[in-house]
Amino acid sequence: QKEVEQNSGPLSVPEGAIASLNCTYSDRGSQSFFWYRQYSGKSPELIMSIYSNGDKEDGRFTAQLNKASQYVSLLIRDSQPSDSATYLCAVNIISNFGNEKLTFGTGTRLTIIP
Amino acid sequence: EPEVTQTPSHQVTQMGQEVILRCVPISNHLYFYWYRQILGQKVEFLVSFYNNEISEKSEIFDDQFSVERPDGSNFTLKIRSTKLEDSAMYFCASSGGRGNTGELFFGEGSRLTVL
């Protein structure tokens, strides 16, 4: 079974600090990696995508990818109370039929403490 | 900004009844998806749809489920003979195509409650 693994948390971070979220995946053929944010009772909202090894920065968010280690992470700088949500790691897994399907981890619940 | 819209936002049904959940994907997108999320659990892939046919489906998507794109804008999920365990939030998503970023954009979801 090709899976996406995340620590479910909860992860508590003081306001203004850096929140670090981690994800591992099992399919070495995966090429596309995403972070979604999901507020309670709401739908997943795309916040970052990354396709190449290294770092990708967008505002306060930095995604990091290491394909050799099959590891994706998300850093949130200057954490704000509004960042409190569940963060979903999603990976395009190649199926046995050669199609991609976006597969989600269980999510990490992040709480920013004022 | 273009968005995926879903109706109804909440549907309550009796066990054994049929339900149809509707979605209007982003207009220039080519790939359409249904996901579900049982309360407190992860977002699970159900089915993907491209060029008027199913391109991939999960083991959850058995004969009880079907999808259809009846016209140029709507994308529907039909659940026949609903069971208690079908109670979940159902999300529709769309994306621009294989050659692009593969980013999926989700609708607000349809909450299905089976009694």
Summarize pLDDT for B32-76 with one digit per residue, the tens: 999 999 999 999 999 999 888 999 999 999 999 999 998 878 999
Residue in B with minimal Cα distance to A108: B42
- If one compares B7 and A9, the residue with the highest pLDDT of the two is B7
Contacts of A107 in chain B (CB under 8 A): 42
State yes or no: pLDDT of A97 exceeds 80.
no
| Share of residues in chain A with pLDDT > 90 (%) | 82
How big is the A-B interface in CB pairs under 8 Å?
53
Per residue in A6-59, pLDDT tens? 988 899 999 999 999 999 999 888 889 999 999 999 999 999 999 999 999 999
Could B101 and A32 be called an inter-chain contact, meaning their C-beta atoms sit closer than 8 Å? Answer: yes
| Listed residue (A69, A62, A66) closest to A52, CA to CA | A66
Provide the pLDDT for residue A7: 86
Contact of A75 with A62, CB cutoff 8 Å: yes
In chain B, residues with a C-beta closer than 8 Å to the C-beta of A104 are 35, 42-45
Among A56, A109, A42, smallest CA distance to B6 is for: A42
User: Which residue on chain B is closest to A43 by alpha carbon?
Assistant: B108
Contacting A residues, span 47-106, partner chain B, CB-CB under 8 Å: 49, 51, 88, 90, 92, 95, 97, 99-106
Q: Could you tell me which residue, A96 or B27, shows the higher pLDDT?
A: B27
Q: Is the pLDDT of residue B78 over 80?
A: yes
CA separation for the pair A36, A38 (Å, rounded)? 7
Phi, psi (5° rounding) for residue A45? -120, 125
Q: Return the residue in A35, A101, A103 with the most chain B beta carbons within 10 A, the one to mutate for interface testing.
A: A101
Inter-residue contact B56 to A99 (CB < 8 Å):
yes
Secondary structure (DSSP) of chain B? ----EEE-SEEEE-TT--EEEEEE--TT--EEEEEEE-TTS--EEEEEEETTEEEEE-TT--TTEEEE--SSS-EEEEE-S--GGG-EEEEEEEES-TTTT---EE---EEEEE-
Cβ <8 Å between B109 and A101: no
Six token digits for residue A2: 């090709």
- Give the one of B56, B103, B105 whose C-beta lies nearest to A97's C-beta: B56
Tokens of A94: 């190649």
Return the closest-CA partner of residue A95 out of A86, A87, A103.
A103
